[in-house]
Chains A and B, each alone.
Chain A
């Protein structure tokens, strides 16, 4: 069951507002203050329950995010391999360059 925390929040705040209102006698203000505290306690219990209930959804979303991050990690590795392949071609070109240098000396 989903409850309206926003409305309950406004009611709690209204109680505290009235506990500070000069339009009310001191005794009534004290009563509103007590009501505000009591209602807030109940609100916190409801919020705590909702917070815990939502945790399952968080865990589900977290698992999905794990998979996304894993796929990303593989993409990074994949790109590194391509970069390494270019580096290897560069290395090969370097070897050929040296070999041709030797060949040139032999021919001349």
Chain B
């Protein structure tokens, strides 16, 4: 961060903002990716899960996968935001965790991986 003396006066007077809300946005987005990948893998492996995720017939299990991942996202984001809104959360471990979640989710929704577990 720049020294506050480097900032234009109008900005130097404003309070710095903690990293918590940014970390919350990043981590909850990463959670969405992971949950979507996980549900994709689960639907491929278990016929029961695939049927349960069929929220809308015309769209099929994709409707349930994206809806449930979306529920996790819109739930976790405000929870994390309010928990961390005044806190300076170390970004590096959050970014590492987010990267791991996104990588795992991305792999789980990659067809050569999830199609291996199809019955």
Say if A and B assemble together: no
